[in-house]
Structure 1
Amino acid sequence: MNIQITLNDTVYTFPAGITLAQVINQLYLPEQGCVFALNEQVVAKSRWSQMMLNDGDQISLFQVIAGG
């Protein structure tokens, strides 16, 4: 069975039972200087590998941008 998740307004299909860490790795998303929110709740990096995703979940990726 597959699930659909939305990452920053783009829909992706993954096998059921996938974790946030696996999605990050499979999509080659940056890890340094990034914050991921699952359904509007920030997920600590230490929990990425434990956070199982469900059909319809929404992930937001925020990157730190330095400026001056």
Structure 2
Amino acid sequence: MINILLNDQAVTVSAGMSLTQILEHQTITLNGVALVLNAEVVPRSRWSHIMCQHDDKLEVFSVVAGG
């Protein structure tokens, strides 16, 4: 198990979980969100390939369209 910060909340997850798996585990809808991992925006195409590490900081933002 590892500890991460998810939107400034301490969360314990299994080691080796991808960003996609963490979102699903936290019941966060994958559509309409953007991810920032350790102050870097992560393209959606990479979410399933990036595994969180101990003490990572993950921020989830809702995407809002406007005009």
TM, length-normalised to structure 1: 0.88
Partner of 1:14: 13
**Match runs of 1:19-30 below 5 Å:** 19-30=18-29
**Match runs of 1:52-67 below 5 Å:** 52-66=51-65
Partner of 2:34: 35
Please give the root-mean-square deviation of Cα atoms over the aligned residues, in Å. Answer: 1.4
Partner of 1:45: 44
Paired with 2:66 and 2:52, the residues of 1 have a C-alpha distance of 34
- Could you list the runs of 4 or more consecutive aligned residues of structure 1 that deviate by over 4 angstroms after TM superposition? none
State the percentage of identical aligned residues: 39
Structure 1 unmatched ranges of 5 or more: none
